[in-house]
Amino acid sequence: MSNILEVRNVTKVYEKHVALDDVSITIEEGSVFGLLGPNGAGKTSLIRIINQITAPDSGTISFNGGPLKPEHTAQIGYLPEERGLYKKMEVGEQALYLAQLKGLTRPEAIKRLKYWFEKFEITSWWKKKVEELSKGMQQKIQFIVTVVHEPKLLILDEPFTGFDPINANLIKDELIEMRKKGVTIALSTHRMESVEELCTHIALINKARKLIEGPVKEVRKLYKSNVYAIEYEGNNIGLANSLWGDFELVENEIEGDWKKALIKVEGNIDTNALLQGLINNVTIHSFREVMPTMNDIFIQSVTNNEIQTIHE
């Protein structure tokens, strides 16, 4: 898989504040890349540099295999966290203006905007002024003008802010469809459930430094704690005996005829051997490894502030 964007050793300093400290990330073509980190970590600074709103003090950025240039903005869609619609303008007039700024002819802009307004069932908004719309409605308009020129790379900074759950799902569905058509998506969000649902790759930045980057599956493996959840029938004492030594009984509860337990494995052990040891003592109804959530990984990474390396 080729890379659509490569950020190499980028540093950015505002007066005495270091916003980015030698940050490198790689975004594969066709991926959904989550740029994560707490407030003030440097995410927005990096996004603004990629969009050529500001320039790095040092480092390089490549787009589609070559140096990032001003003309590449026509192939990038950017939805900033702070929205920028003109309150007094009519919705349709403004959408048309912004679409033409992205290089579309007026007839092509009208055609594409009509498609999106019909798809989102908002054709009646065309003549309304932006100030007449709710924040969520304004977000829909902002999303449309971000994607109307069919960018190769779509960069979204907190894209679900202001949306109710129904409209948030609507946008998620659109992002999934766009990815199927080959669009690469990079999003910055504090909503870890959105990362779980959408992202194939992530990078986590804290205090201006990148702590970790890689495919979501590999990141979760790196942070796993060898904890397994089981549902079983049998004697608790038998289970406890089977766990003596290499295993630790973390949690055990009775729910009707079945019992539930969490066990933690010390060191490396073959999963089949673990399961066989349990079967010798109890009847197993379900058995699964408990993998960390992105929320768990976020908190652990930021709290420890340690750089981790994934070996693929």
CATH number of the domain encompassing residue 235: 3.30.70
Helical pair 165-180 and 135-147, crossing angle rounded to 10 deg: 10
Which SS3 state, helix, strand or coil, does residue 204 take?
strand
Query: How far is the C-alpha of 52 from the C-alpha of 7, rounded, in Å?
Result: 13
* 175 and 76 co-located in one domain: yes
* 262 and 158 co-located in one domain: no
Task: Give the highest mean pLDDT range of 107-121, 237-251, 268-282.
Answer: 107-121
Query: How far is the C-alpha of 15 from the C-alpha of 215, rounded, in Å?
Result: 35
* 232 and 210 co-located in one domain: no
Domain containing 237 equals 225-289
* 216 and 233 co-located in one domain: no
Predicted confidence at residue 232, as pLDDT, reads 84
Name the domain boundary from 163, 190, 221. Answer: 221
Predicted confidence at residue 251, as pLDDT, reads 72
Rounded to the nearest integer, the mean pLDDT of the chain is 89
* 247 and 285 co-located in one domain: yes
Predicted confidence at residue 33, as pLDDT, reads 97
Task: Give the highest mean pLDDT range of 10-19, 82-91, 153-162, 302-311.
Answer: 10-19
Task: Say if 308 falls within a structural domain.
Answer: no
pTM attached to this predicted model: 0.87
Predicted confidence at residue 110, as pLDDT, reads 96
Q: What is the pLDDT of residues 36-88, one digit of tens each?
A: 999 989 999 999 999 999 999 999 999 999 999 999 989 999 998 776 788 88
Query: How far is the C-alpha of 60 from the C-alpha of 152, rounded, in Å?
Result: 20
Predicted confidence at residue 217, as pLDDT, reads 93
Query: How far is the C-alpha of 157 from the C-alpha of 62, rounded, in Å?
Result: 20
Query: How far is the C-alpha of 229 from the C-alpha of 35, rounded, in Å?
Result: 30
* 207 and 159 co-located in one domain: yes
The two tokens of residue 291 are 């993998």
CATH classification at residue 183: 3.40.50.300
Q: pLDDT: is 50 or 228 the higher one?
A: 50
pLDDT at 237 over 50: no
pLDDT at 244 over 50: no
Q: pLDDT: is 89 or 268 the higher one?
A: 89
Name the domain boundary from 221, 242, 258. Answer: 221
Task: Say if 50 falls within a structural domain.
Answer: yes
**Whose structure tokens read 């007039």?**
93
Residues 6+ positions from 71 with CB-CB distance below 8 Å: none
Q: What is the pLDDT of residues 160-200, one digit of tens each?
A: 887 888 988 999 999 999 999 999 999 998 889 889 999 99
Task: Say if 258 falls within a structural domain.
Answer: yes
* 36 and 166 co-located in one domain: yes
Q: How many domains does the chain have?
A: 2
* 7 and 78 co-located in one domain: yes
Query: How far is the C-alpha of 308 from the C-alpha of 87, rounded, in Å?
Result: 45
Task: Say if 93 falls within a structural domain.
Answer: no
Query: How far is the C-alpha of 58 from the C-alpha of 11, rounded, in Å?
Result: 5
Task: Say if 128 falls within a structural domain.
Answer: no
Query: How far is the C-alpha of 17 from the C-alpha of 164, rounded, in Å?
Result: 36
Q: What is the pLDDT of residues 259-281, one digit of tens each?
A: 888 888 877 777 887 787 778 77
* 163 and 285 co-located in one domain: no
Lowest mean pLDDT among 14-18, 95-99, 158-162, 169-173: 158-162
DSSP 157: E
* 156 and 44 co-located in one domain: yes
Confidence of residue 210 (pLDDT cuts 50, 70, 90): very high
Task: Say if 99 falls within a structural domain.
Answer: no
Which SS3 state, helix, strand or coil, does residue 54 take?
coil
Predicted confidence at residue 184, as pLDDT, reads 98
* 72 and 170 co-located in one domain: yes
Query: How far is the C-alpha of 277 from the C-alpha of 279, rounded, in Å?
Result: 6
Strand partners, 35: 188, 203
34 and 202 Cβ atoms separated by less than 8 Å: yes
Report the relative pairing of strands 153-157 and 76-79 from DSSP bridges. Answer: parallel
* 285 and 163 co-located in one domain: no
Lowest mean pLDDT among 141-150, 206-215, 220-229: 220-229
pLDDT at 131 over 70: yes
